[in-house]
Structure 1
Amino acid sequence: MIKILLGLIVLINLGFVFYFIRDLLRHRSDVMSEPATTWALPFSSFIIFLLSTFGISDFAISTALYPKAKWVSIKKLPGTLNTQCVVPVAAMALSYITAITVDIKTLAVCIIAAVIGAYIGPRFVVKLPANTIKKFVTAGLIIAALMILAGKFNWIPANGTATSLSGWKLMLTAILLFIYGALNNIGIGSYALTMATVYAMGLNPSAAFPIMMGAATFSVSTSSIQFVKLADYSRKITLFTSTFGVLGVLVAVFFVKSLDTSMLQWLVIIVLLYSAISMALSLRQKGEA
């Protein structure tokens, strides 16, 4: 079962890598002229995905950083958030999924639901006006901050014992994961939402992890292929995070045995809320104008 899952992860990520490299080669003269700062990208990519490996959302940090630094337009932000994390998230999945403690039917239904949502989403996202995307991104920042707070104060239950779901619980979880897969495409990360959902359904935390990681790696790969085809992402940021971001993951997995992320989480919460308020105020000013 582990081999099948890991094989599928490798396969779908190779699909993304194929489309991404083909797109890079077609636009190789434009990549390095994109606005993201070349000397800073290796450091930001490494740190973002080092922290992501310890559970601090790369979607949230990137959403707070990239628009402020003017590295990518709001229009291309959702696509960039997805494409930049495909290879690092695959590295996390391959490093961490060592045992399947969840019923195969539950795992398959959840992953398929998230993938379908992720596949459909990009076709609609690229048609959204920049201001609409900005509103969704603002909501995503607030949700990410609240989810981190919920984890810190143990508002999210994590004491379930079940290893499978059935009936209405499985159906509801599948519907929610379909929505989360679609939300990825507008810049709202699904990892924390998936974690909260499977915990609320009574699953054992060890059973929840394969669902979270599996849904994330399959859904972002699927949606990212669509964003690459639609050319609605930053090639430069994705190129750097696909290399230096993976290094951050590997350092976290193999060299950093423990990291006190408590203070970092408070800092991230402050940054997220500040970014959300700033974005909301800019929308209000534009509306008044």
Structure 2
Amino acid sequence: MVIVVAAILTVLVGLALWYGFFFIRDLLAHKANLGPEKGWIAYPIGLVTDFLDTLGIGSFATTTLGFKITKFLKNDELLPGTLNVGHTIPVILEAVIFITVVEVEALTLISMVVAAMLGSWLGAKWVSKLSERKVQRVMGIALAVTAILMALQSLKVLDILGRGNEAMGLSGILLVVAIIGNFILGALMTAGIGLYAPCMALVYMLGLNPLVAFPIMMTSCAALMPVASFEFVKYSRYSKKGAIGLTIGGILGVIAAVTLVTSLDLTLLTWLIIAVVLYTSVTMILQSAKPAATPVAPSPTEYHKGA
């Protein structure tokens, strides 16, 4: 397992370097116009949301909430891309820090991670082409699903699924189900549905030890997000100032969570987040029924014409 962990860490670092190069190159190419947003707002949002992400709450729903409260984004069309691009490096940092804590059979871990990567690649191709109204509708549904899963997790319902499970790996038909399931979750994550809670439910239902969920879900996210973000960066379907703020603030948030927090009761905070996320979900679904705003980002065809 030591060799497997070393190999995975090498791949994650390689993905971070590859993605970082591509991301920075895109920012430099558009340095004269990084967008109309107030960039400083994204830094504290990134710090808080990735702090919470490191503690297991997740970052997509909370970041969406932060953007809505501050009215950071002028157009929701850029929301999925900004979430994925901005949180990629902090999530990779989380995985690098925590992957050595729990052992899981190599075949199960690697196959599920690769499946999530492939799912995110296909999902990002679809999401990166959605109009603002469709993004609002998809994100509204995604937030509702996320809130429900967070509630089930807080009520310990997901824990019940994993009670008594001892397996550290899967084989046969159960492994196939796990691969297909994580492929779907990887695709859904590009649309704004966080992978943590549904992945945890998946491994519990398949009979895996609850601790196995952590290396699987963290490594899956760390591996799939650079792949998904590549598509959003490629078509310039993200807020550049937002992604910069989330990345830098998020790195600080991860470090703070790892170094400062040993025990923290997040029950009240989690339920507060669930309530507001549900409200945001309803708001976005209602907004999707209104006439679409003028897009602020080029379509893939227009992007290539201007390149």
Same fold (TM over 0.5): yes
Which residue identity lines up with residue 223 of structure 1 in the other structure? A
2:17 corresponds to which of 6, 14, 17: 14
Following TM superposition, by how much is the alpha carbon of 1:286 offset from its aligned partner in structure 2, in angstroms? Answer: 5.1
Q: Distance in 2 between matches of 1:65 and 1:241?
A: 11
**Residue 216 of structure 2 corresponds to which residue in structure 1?**
211
**Residue 278 of structure 1 corresponds to which residue in structure 2?**
283
Which residue identity lines up with residue 143 of structure 1 in the other structure? V
**Residue 225 of structure 1 corresponds to which residue in structure 2?**
230
1:260 corresponds to which of 261, 265, 268: 265
Q: Distance in 2 between matches of 1:67 and 1:92?
A: 25
Q: Contact 1:115–1:181 at 8 Å: present in 2 too? A: yes
Q: Distance in 2 between matches of 1:89 and 1:197?
A: 20
Which residue identity lines up with residue 137 of structure 2 in the other structure? K
Are 1:69 and 2:70 matched, yes or no? yes
Q: Tell me, what secondary structure is at the counterpart of 2:77?
A: coil
**Residue 113 of structure 1 corresponds to which residue in structure 2?**
115
1:195 corresponds to which of 194, 200, 211: 200
Following TM superposition, by how much is the alpha carbon of 1:285 offset from its aligned partner in structure 2, in angstroms? Answer: 5.3
Q: Distance in 2 between matches of 1:9 and 1:23?
A: 21
**Residue 41 of structure 1 corresponds to which residue in structure 2?**
42
**Residue 143 of structure 1 corresponds to which residue in structure 2?**
145
Which residue identity lines up with residue 12 of structure 2 in the other structure? I
Are 1:56 and 2:60 matched, yes or no? no
Are 1:158 and 2:162 matched, yes or no? yes
Structure 1, residues 6-57: CA drift from partner, whole Å, max 9, x if none? 11111111111010000011011212x431x333322221111111111112
Give the structure-2-normalised TM-score: 0.88
Q: Distance in 2 between matches of 1:45 and 1:100?
A: 27
Gaps of 5+ in 1: none
Q: Distance in 2 between matches of 1:173 and 1:224?
A: 24
Q: Distance in 1 between matches of 2:32 and 2:291?
A: 35
Q: Distance in 2 between matches of 1:244 and 1:132?
A: 29
Q: Distance in 2 between matches of 1:230 and 1:57?
A: 26
Q: Contact 2:133–2:287 at 8 Å: present in 1 too? A: no
Structure 1 range deviating more: 207-216 or 262-271:
207-216
Q: Contact 1:78–1:184 at 8 Å: present in 2 too? A: no
Following TM superposition, by how much is the alpha carbon of 1:68 offset from its aligned partner in structure 2, in angstroms? Answer: 4.7
Q: Distance in 2 between matches of 1:144 and 1:187?
A: 9
Give the structure-1-normalised TM-score: 0.94
Q: Distance in 2 between matches of 1:44 and 1:235?
A: 15
Gaps of 5+ in 2: 293-307
Following TM superposition, by how much is the alpha carbon of 1:206 offset from its aligned partner in structure 2, in angstroms? Answer: 2.1
Following TM superposition, by how much is the alpha carbon of 1:176 offset from its aligned partner in structure 2, in angstroms? Answer: 1.2
Q: Distance in 1 between matches of 2:60 and 2:40?
A: 21
Q: Tell me, what secondary structure is at the counterpart of 1:93?
A: helix
Q: Distance in 2 between matches of 1:84 and 1:286?
A: 28
Q: Distance in 1 between matches of 2:32 and 2:263?
A: 42
**Residue 254 of structure 2 corresponds to which residue in structure 1?**
249
Q: Distance in 1 between matches of 2:58 and 2:106?
A: 27
Which residue identity lines up with residue 148 of structure 1 in the other structure? M
Structure 1, residues 74-121: CA drift from partner, whole Å, max 9, x if none? 111111111111111011111111145211111111011100111122
Give percent identity, aligned residues only: 35
**Residue 130 of structure 1 corresponds to which residue in structure 2?**
132
Q: Contact 2:116–2:185 at 8 Å: present in 1 too? A: yes
